[in-house]
Structure 1
Amino acid sequence: MRWKTKRRVIDVTDRGLIMGILNVTPDSFSDGGMFVDVDAAVNHAIGMLQDGAEIIDVGGESTRPGAPMVTAEEEIERVIPVIKALRAASDCLISIDTSKAAVAEVAIEAGVDVVNDVTGLKGDVNMAKVCAKSDVGVVVMHMQGTPDTMQDRPEYEDVLRDVRKFFEERYRTLTKLGVNPQCLCFDPGIGFGKTLDHNLQLLNGLSSLVVNNRPLMLGVSRKSMIGKVLGLEEAEDRDTGTVALTAMGRNAGAKIHRVHEVKRNYEAMRMAEAVVNADESF
């Protein structure tokens, strides 16, 4: 299984990737306001790379439940200085977490390799064109509703079947629009328009969500579902639960793991891979 990004093609058949979260927002649910300064953001990114991350995901707009939208101009002002400074400091893969084509286009020009879109490239009619033209890696996430409405009353006939059908439709549509199928990666969108039960069902059935041999990305880091299961109010207290889900998710076939705290999740992923890839003859 290979995933094509703008900078390089990555073989994720046996070796997964950690994507480190770099929020340059004032209001993200876990680390809002901590990395709005360019130097602080780049230093944090370098630290995540040293801890094992291979992709840094830069986001300039919070997508927590109820988060207000920001303009493309404001998002660009937040992310581009950080992307340029990080690209000057490192040859790592950089992802832009945005649903706006204008932001993605400027970010790609600044050195981005991957576009990570929580709307599955449905929020902006120009996003597929931008991604196809640039031949970047594309993370297509499933979300029911919008960040402002997604947790009102999410409902599914069968959440696993419905998310898989969404992936199948997105694969057909996006490849027809010119997106290289090797660039596609799918994310079930844990916590985005799902109840706790929906999230647990998706995690339990991850292996059934693989479409056309495209990699799955899992983004569960510090999310409220962990808090609900473990009775933890503070986001920073949910890292142990995140690590457990990273190991479990890697065992179920998720190839890319998007996390806040890199080191322990990197170690958990590598440990799970040692078991998954063990030679059965021994």
Structure 2
Amino acid sequence: MHADPQTVLLRDTQKSRSRRLVLDPHAVNVPLDSAPAVFFMRVRLGETGEIFRAPNCRIDMTVRELKEGLELVAGIPFNLQRLQYLDQGVLMDDTTLRFHDVVPGGVISLCIWHYGGWTELVLAAMEGDPSKLSCLGIADNSLQTVNSQQLEGKKQKLWTSPRAFVALFITSHRGLFDAVRYLLENGANCLGRSPLGRTPLHVAAAMGRLDCIGLLLEHGASIHDKDAKGETPIALARRLNRKQSEQRMLLLHWVMKTGATDLSGSALTKAFQRVKSGFASKYRTQTRLPVAALASGR
């Protein structure tokens, strides 16, 4: 006698879930329907073995939402991420964690989009070695791939600009000051944005990279730029409880209002003294612009 098709499907699904619980030793051994409302996942970067903790996950969260959070946690732009869970292929953006039987506390694999030399570029940016970055197409005179050598003029610029931005995004996220400075001095655009609208200043602020915050502002980054969700770097720092990032950005913003262009060392100290001596209070009194307004970009 043949079993009912629905019974077979249910039995196979239960076997699959049980097998995944066994294969993933980090998973919390609870049924999916009993999973907590909010939990964390571990995300392993395949190329380096690094483990990142992705908080605030939900069983009905989409893969896209998870990747949006990972852009801040791992510092890899959304469009370069490829996620996998155990023996499954690449997880599609519009599917949910429930669809893939992902269990709380489990490990998701993160791989970098490898076409066009992106993997090598991302790894070099993570290392923060300017000599390696210089060989990976971040400037017009840098070593390039076989395909990029066919490009000239504007087409070559269109190829190098996004690569320089990705390198700047990652080095800013990791606080690699020397690499950030090298990239800015070689034309990387600090006003560039990830597909989610985030600038290098967003991720530097999210991670509390104070030195890089100053360097980015010195090269024209803006505390008022909003991402796709309407968050400025200051608002993001506040949400993530990065108080020092928030204070540093506000301070440097006020200092730059005095006309200071050098935001390091004694020059910053002198400019800060001018702010303390009256500029900040005058600015607030005349404009009645609270800190909350600065954070929102108004």
TM range, normalised to the smaller chain? 0.3 to 0.5
Q: Which has the larger radius of gyration?
A: 2
Structure with higher helix content: 2
Structure with higher strand content: 1
| Greater relative contact order (Cα < 8 A, sep 6+) | 1
State TM-score, norm by structure 1: 0.33
State TM-score, norm by structure 2: 0.31
